Chains A and B, each alone.
Chain A
Amino acid sequence: MRILAIESSCDETAFAIICEQDGKIVVEKNLLATQIEIHKLYGGVVPEVAAREHVSAIFPMLMESGVSRDGHEIDAIAVTAGPGLVPALRIGVELAKTLAWIWKKPLIAVNHLEGHIYSVWHHAIMTTKEPMFPSVCLLVSGGHTELLLMRDHGDYQMLGMTRDDAAGEAFDKVANLLGLGYPGGPIISKTALAGDPNAITFPRPMHGSGDLDFSFSGLKTAVRVHLEANPIDRVNTANVCASFQQAVVDSLVDKTLTAVLQHHPRSVILSGGVSANQALRSILHDKLEKQFPDITFHAPDLALTGDNAVMIAVAGLFQAKRNQFVDPLALVADPNMRLAS
């Protein structure tokens, strides 16, 4: 089965074509608008493509994907239907509906969060080490921080989420406070390598709150207050970065281990943009290995941690196997889309 997938839920316009052959997934195309010179494809007509201007990017990218005019080689179309920014989602959804209608192909509506979870399956299938059910999923990105229980393909229960800022947002805002630039995640984790994670005691918000929710807004404020009291740390940023990162990782790992204790999963899945953070990956993996040696740990290839369409295609593939298709005339982008339980 060959799937064309489109993702446009927030900043990134992305296309992918994947093909399942003999139980293995081959990624034939993986395109991100931020890595392509869109205006070059447009022949210089559009001087500059602003952020989230998916409408300018989507047709050049369809051309770049190399898909045939009649789509004969494609078996199904998968698109991110939510959650996300409505005007952004709508661009991808309307194109997917049109292609499905014209080409007479089945259409699959994928939840963006489910896409992130399935970003580990691409790699897992290649190495025949698929996550086992039930799985506890920690999804951390710029816009999301959620803990989910995945009982089977397509069967989810929300366990906890952030009550204010997402973890990735905290990284971006602290990087901004330190004048380190955007995006904050990679810069902070790099700067943190030279620092002492125990140098400054930042709060571990929601620690011992008895539930599986997160909160990172107060941590961001604590960093700001610390910098106002210790201006020298605006220059010596390594200890601030290391201590801040440790506070985020501790909160994420602590709640994930609590979820494991409560729900007895066979696997733990880490995904989302912040899953690229090496400290988070290694600390979570180490603690799981020590405390729960029978549980397998899964994290995506670094190239698939951020928003991409390969993950939407893989999630779409598993939905297609369950014949979960939607009517191309009826599909509407849903900014508050939830994972079905």
Chain B
Amino acid sequence: MLYSSTSQQQTKEIAHTFAKTLVGGDIVFLDGDLGAGKTTFTQGVLESFGYTEPVRSPTFSIMNIYPINRGLISKVIHLDFYRFNSPDEIRTLGLEDFLEDPKIIFLIEWPEKGTGDMSSLVPTKTIHFRTISENEREININ
């Protein structure tokens, strides 16, 4: 599904619609350049799950864990591999336990920097973000 957004608010609204399709165990890859709207989109997903605390960029922290209370979804884990120099760095995160939990949803920025051929991180959904102009973004949900 191809969307066009002209504001952060609109990107969040597209995320609200997308969030309705999410189920526990989903691994969502967020693909796109700096400033294309990946974190804004994640803020929208968490908003629609009723999370009211601030949702910030995980670039420095690498992994932000948001507990939510939505029946079959217990947590949203927002990952960002932007600062990885090698996909090997993923093993320091101890994701194995989280990946076995069917009530967790993963949203991953810069996934290619943390995944190699042997990666256990296989996306169930992928979203491509493209910057068209200063305020215009193309959001393609697969």
| Chain A residues with a Cβ under 8 A of chain B | 10, 50-54, 84-88, 141-143, 161-166, 168-169, 172-173, 176-177, 182, 217-218, 220-222, 224-225, 335-336
Contact = CB atoms under 8 A, between A and B. Distances in A.
Contacts of B101: none
Nearest to B84: A51
A156 B54 CA distance: 19
Contact of B59 (A87, A173, A336): A173
Contact of B92 (A53, A161, A177): A53
Interface string B61-79: 1111100000000000000
A262 to B, nearest CB: 20
B11 to A, nearest CB: 12
A163 B57 CA distance: 9
A220 B33 CA distance: 11
B116 to A, nearest CB: 14
Contact of A84 (B61, B84, B131, B133): B61
Contacts of A182: 83
A50 B57 contact: no
- Interface centre among A51, A163, A225, by most chain B C-beta atoms within 10 angstroms, is A51
A220 B59 CA distance: 13
A50 B56 contact: no
Contact of A86 (B63, B86, B133): B63
Nearest to A9: B61
B35 A85 contact: no
Contacts of B60: 10, 141-143, 166, 168-169
User: Interface size bucket, B side?
Assistant: 20 to 34
Contacts of A217: 35, 39-40, 57
B118 interface: no
B34 interface: yes
Contacts of A84: 61
Contacts of B57: 164-166, 169, 217
A336 B63 CA distance: 11
Interface string B82-93: 011110110011
A86 B65 CA distance: 9
B134 interface: yes
Contacts of B88: 50
A338 to B, nearest CB: 10
A23 B82 CA distance: 44
A220 B89 contact: no
5 contacts: A51-B85, A85-B63, A163-B54, A165-B59, A335-B63
Nearest to A165: B57
B24 to A, nearest CB: 20
Contacts of B89: 50-52
B89 to A, nearest CB: 5
Closest 4 pairs between A and B when the two form their complex, measured CB to CB: A221-B35, A143-B60, A142-B60, A87-B94
A169 B65 contact: no
A75 B140 CA distance: 58
A168 B60 CA distance: 9
B78 to A, nearest CB: 12
B34 A335 contact: no
Contacts of A218: 35
A162 B60 CA distance: 13
Given A50-B86, A51-B92, A221-B34, 19 more contacts: A51-B85, A52-B92, A84-B61, A88-B92, A163-B54, A164-B39, A164-B43, A164-B57, A168-B60, A169-B59, A172-B59, A177-B34, A217-B35, A221-B134, A224-B33, A224-B34, A224-B35, A225-B131, A225-B134
B62 A85 contact: yes
